[in-house]
Structure 1
Amino acid sequence: MTRSRVFPVAVFVLTFGLLLSDYMSRQVLSAVFPFLKVEWVLTDTQLGSLTSIVALTVGLLAVPLSLLGDRWGRSKAIILMGALWSLATLGCAIAANYEQMMLARFFIGLGEAAYGSVGLAVVLMVFSPRSRASLTGAFMAGGSFGSVLGVFLGGILAVQLGWRWSFGVMAVLGIVFVLLYAIMVNDGRLAGHQHPGNRGPEAADGTVDSTAERAKLRALVSTPSVISAYVGSGLQLFMAGALFAWLPSYLNRAYHLRPDKAGIAAAGFILLMGVGMIVCGVVTDRLTKHVAIRKWTAAIVFTAISFVALTVGFTQESGGLQLVLIAVGAFFTGGTTGPAGAMVANLTPASIRATAFGTLTLANNLLGLAAGPLVVGAIADRVGLVDAMKVAPLVSVIAIIALLIGRRAYPSSLGRVARVDTVENDTLENDTVAAVGSD
């Protein structure tokens, strides 16, 4: 099959669109927190748990379901996942109590569990390896943009029509994207348009060829650097999860904004986070074109800036200065996403790449997106949400330590992977030479 320049773009647009739906379904809940708190008399811990159950389910199931996606067919897995989370979001719209909402949220997590990893693997397979950080940052920014749309539209719909409509509209949008993807993308077309630099042992239908040698699953955690990338990325997203879940409520309580106004304001900060993912990914690719180890340096710098800005910002009195500092912190909070995805791609074999991204998703959710809302909610029940947000950024200190460890071990780790994955041997050897250059 002749490779088309249009098809990879279409794949990115559709896969990105489904990621928007993924996070719109996940984060619309934050916009209706005030309504649920009053109607069902819920504590902040219970509200936080409704957010965390999705991220927790995603984290626990990301690796096994990503492995199934690698073996069964990635486009088929994407269609099935999108249909499941859309129907589960519809279930949220008709939930009668906290327990039913929790069950529906579990099924949203089940549907979304491997989407980020399988979707990213699909995107990266049809583009050049040289753009991995940019593509990863741009793709994962869909999480922020989807959260923006979910919070923004959810807040407006909840005030105008009732909170149940917020979930119903998200469900319909998800089903539309699933139908478009099913019509335009399949595993055979993906295999035919795979970029030559990403060739792995894959069959004609897009699944991994069972007759070819497959990398062992232990390669997912075989080097200190890849483990550090998982841990550092996950811990840094702790604050992203906290902002996703609690920023609308924070603005509601600290600035006394109505839920719809608070949702709109919070959407602006989350939008900045998405823009930051894209910008930081592009900057990382430019800085690391000849010196690969700078991926780690970039991730460390982004994490440090977000830590300082958010720590200082949440200790300020309500006002313009605080909002500016939170905006700066939000911009850099997701800055590690692009570098982390690129590092994991470089440090793991091509034949299990979706599973590697599933492992990254596991860390991102268990350490970050699940832990952030739940831990901050639990602290808020004891000291108040305003004070809870003051201590939340401290987790970034541990993330910086993990990234420093990974940076130190990167040259040797990269060389080890180059010996394991002969398919990408030339690319990785060039990266290894660059990695030992001066930074």
Structure 2
Amino acid sequence: MQVEKQDKIGNYRWRIVVLLFFATTINYIDRQVLGILAPQLQQQFGWSESDYGFIIMAFQIAYAVGLISMGTLLDKIGTRLGFIIAISLWSLAGMAHAAARSVFSFSLARFALGIGESANFPAAVKTVAEWFPKKERALATGIFNSGPNVGAILTPLLIPVIALELGWEWGFIITGALGFIWLLFWIPMYRKPELDKRLSDAERRHILQDDTEPDATKLPWKSIISYKQTWGICLARFLTDPIWWFFLYWLPKFLNSNHNIDLTNIGLPLIIIYMVSIGGSIFGGWMSSFLINRGKNPVAARILTIFLLALLVVPIFFASFTSSLWLAVALISMATFAHQGYAANIFTIVSDIFPKSAVGSVVGLSGFAGAIGGVLFSGAVGVILEITGSYYVIFGIASVAYLLCWLSLQLLVPAHQKIQLPQI
């Protein structure tokens, strides 16, 4: 009977979330192409380690700026037009890498890519809010949010083949073109559910069933930054987001310099690393839920889970010392597994302690803090590699970052205190 009822409602909204999944997958493919090609480009153009660090910083600065501005823009122009502008910008920027020849021109292309790509997650979350009732939004978000891992797996499979057969420029051109192919589906398919004539009346009522509920008052950041919990979460993201950025952009270079891995054989190590990281996201969510079901306070359960995962990152310090490729892959995989499990909990802590009207602001503010941390760390990585010629300092920083993150949460995010913000 339940299946029959669902059939009568209709399922057009799930086609929309499939579009969001592909947009997010393309988003991660486009941002990761440079990391895969970095060893070849560094040799061809004579980049120093600092040069590469500055190129990465350009993307992260733009991404940080975009994270605190795109939400407002999307609210003004709507998700349909917002996505059209954003994916057109980042696709053109991705393709523009093919014409770049200097550090400045690559940095300029990366900056434009960062501005465009920063809109993806705010736009996707807003689209889910428009097209799904509250009881279905978590599932819809989970579907589109699996795109980053899929993108991280597909990129090392696709880019080496394209670059070796056609040249590195085509790696950027072909992946950049994917966004325009996506627009061929988005433009005709997407309208607000109130206006979409392809929806049945039953599905439209189902989607809009929460519209009778009053909207929560939107709170500016200045009304929440006085709370130590906000700073604890921002500090956690500031410490750990740069490590994930490092994994995305510097692992191919590390594998190349330490283990002679190039475009012909880079696929398998990276696929293993990111496949393991998918398991971390599932484990992190399961672990905290297990502790909660055993009677532990939700926030305390998540902070304890983060501590246990932080311990898995500590051995990554030895990844720069081992001569075994697969031992290094195993140590890095443990760290990416832990990061994804941590991420599943840090986002949920926000909704555990802040009212719904403040969740978006706290997530945006903490994401900005993480992006700033990424900017600083990328610059530092380039300088450290030029001075030391080794990754041991960098992996040493990564090995303790998550323990420091746990400490910031332990000190600044009391488990039994839920924040009640004043309405304005």
**What TM-score do the two structures reach when normalised by structure 1?**
0.80
Deviations 1:243-281 (A, max 9, x none): 111111111121112233124422431332244234423
Q: Counterpart of 1:416 in 2: which secondary structure?
A: coil
Inter-partner Cα distance in structure 2 for 1:328 and 1:197: 44
Instruction: Tell me how far 1:27 sits from its aligned partner.
Output: 1.0
Total equivalences in the alignment: 404
| 1:30 pairs with 2:57 | no
Residue matched to 1:10: 15
Which structure 1 segments of 5+ residues have no match? 202-211, 422-439
- Equivalent position of 1:280 in the other structure: 284
Whether 1:107 and 2:112 are equivalent positions in the alignment is: yes
Q: How does 1:351-362 map to 2 (within 5 A)?
A: 354-362=360-368
Cα distance change on mapping 1:331 and 1:176 into 2, 3 Å: same
Report if aligned partners of 1:219, 1:348 keep a CA contact under 8 Å in 2. Answer: no
The reply on whether 1:218 has 2:225 as its aligned counterpart is no
Q: 1:248 is aligned with what amino acid? A: P
Q: Tell me the equivalent position of 1:316.
A: 322
1:400 to 396, 406, 413: 406
Alignment of 1:188-337 (within 5 A): 188=193, 193=207, 196=210, 201=215, 213-285=217-289, 287-288=291-292, 291-293=297-299, 294-305=301-312, 307-337=313-343
Q: Gaps (5+ residues) in structure 2?
A: 1-5, 197-203
Distance 2:76 2:290 in 1: 34
In structure 1, what is the equivalent of residue 3 of structure 2?
A: none
Between the aligned residues of both structures, percent identity stands at 20
**Residues 19-38 of structure 1 deviation map (CA, whole Å, 9 limit, x = unaligned):** 11111111100111122112
Q: How far apart, CA to CA, are the structure 2 residues paired with 1:302 and 1:127?
A: 33
Report Cα offsets for 1:83-110 as digits up to 9, x if no partner.
2101111111222332222111111011
Contact 1:24 1:151 in 2 (8 A): no
Q: Is the 8 A contact 1:254 1:386 kept in 2?
A: no
> Whole-Å Cα distance in 2 between the matches of residues 198 and 332 of structure 1?
41
Instruction: Compute the displacement of 1:242 (Å).
Output: 1.1
1:40-439 equivalences in 2 (<5 Å): 40-123=45-128, 126=132, 128=134, 132=138, 139-188=144-193, 193=207, 196=210, 201=215, 213-285=217-289, 287-288=291-292, 291-293=297-299, 294-305=301-312, 307-348=313-354, 350=356, 354-368=360-374, 370-393=375-398, 394-408=400-414, 410-412=415-417, 414-417=418-421, 420=423
SS in 2 for 1:361: helix
Whether the aligned pair in 1 keeps the contact of 2:45 and 2:101 (CA below 8 Å) is no
Between 1:269-278 and 1:345-354, the stretch displaced more is 345-354
Deviation at 1:58, TM superposition (A): 0.8
Q: Is the 8 A contact 1:315 1:390 kept in 2?
A: no
Q: Which has the higher Rg, Structure 1 or Structure 2? A: 2
Q: 1 CA distance for matches of 2:185 and 2:175?
A: 16
Using structure 2 for the length normalisation, give the TM-score. Answer: 0.83
Q: Quote the Cα distance in structure 1 between the aligned partners of 2:170 and 2:145.
A: 27
Could you say if the C-alpha distance between residues 174 and 246 of structure 1 is closer, same or farther in structure 2, counting changes exceeding 3 Å?
same
Aligned partner of 1:33: which letter?
A
Distance 1:121-1:341 versus aligned 2 partners, 3 A rule? farther
Structure 1 contact 140–277 (Cα < 8 Å) conserved: no
Mapped to 1, the partners of 2:30 and 2:137 lie a distance apart of 29
CA deviation after TM superposition for structure 1 residue 380, in Å: 1.1
1:335 counterpart SS class: helix
Deviation digits for residues 127-163 of structure 1 (CA, Å, limit 9, x no counterpart): 646985x776665443233233233322221122111
Opposite residue 331 of structure 1, the aligned amino acid is: F
**Higher mean C-alpha displacement, 213-222 vs 149-158:** 213-222
Letter in 2 for 1:158: A
AA partner of residue 266 (structure 1): L
Give me the whole-angstrom Cα distance separating, in 2, the residues matched to 1:92 and 1:109: 13
Q: Is the 8 A contact 2:281 2:343 kept in 1?
A: yes
Change (3 A) 1:169 1:366: same
CA distance in 1, matches of 2:166, 2:358: 45
